[in-house]
Every structure is written in structure tokens, then in C-alpha cells.
Amino acid sequence: MRGLGVRIALDDFGTGYSSLGYLRRFPVDKIKIDRSFIRDLDRRDTAAIVRTVIGLGAELGVIVTAEGVETEAQLDMLRKAGCGEAQGYLIGVPAKAADMSRLLRSPALLRQSV
């Protein structure tokens, strides 16, 4: 499947059915830290868990994405911890595919990427 370009993301990591065991059983390409952890980043124990997951991803050579980033403080902490990707309202709000297509063609976006 990888030869076809298929990638596997372990979504909502840290909650429900996304356990550490999956990291051994499946060739995971990405770990997505559940937003409930990001929401509580100001708690010492939660911040320690998030830093540990980011470190685990680095050790395994897996991309780590933080879900639900809503504040600059959260994004700053995640950057300092070495998190490679983030998603959430701070970065961008949900949008329809047609809206995204227009955004990607916008001259303002093209100027920013240069």
C-alpha cells in the first residue's frame, strides 16, 4: 500500500482506541495528538504527556501533529517541544473544498509563499 502512496495517521492519539500498541502493530506515518491534551497544555502533567508524545514521534521517525491549537501560547509550547505540525482555529478555520480551492488560487497566498 505504501507503494501506492497510502499513509497511515493515528488520529486522536491518547484517547479511545488509539493506544501505544498500534505504534508497534502498524506502520504509522503520523501521530495526531488529541485536542483534549492541547486544550489542557497549561496543566503540568498534560504538558509532560504532550512533550513525551512529541519525543516518541521523533524517536520513531513519525510526524507528530497537534490537533485543536487555538492560542499562540499553545503553538509556542508545541514548537519548543519540537512538534512538526499543528492544526486548529489559530491556524485556520474549517472550510468547504470550493472555498479552499479559491484560497489556494488567490494572489495574496501566492505572494506569501515567495
How far is residue 33 from each of residues 96, 98, 107, measured CA to CA in Å? 24, 28, 33
Q: pLDDT for 60-111, tens place per residue?
A: 999 999 999 999 999 999 999 999 999 999 988 888 888 888 777 776 655 4
pLDDT number for residue 76: 96
Q: Assess contact for 35 and 55: CB atoms under 8 A.
A: no
**Mean pLDDT computed over every residue of the chain:** 88
Count of CB atoms situated within 10 Å of the CB of 111: 8
- Report the C-alpha gap between 67 and 85 in whole angstroms: 9
Q: Which residue type occupies 70?
A: E
More confident residue, 16 or 66: 66
pLDDT number for residue 16: 73
Give the mean model confidence (pLDDT) for residues 3-20. Answer: 83
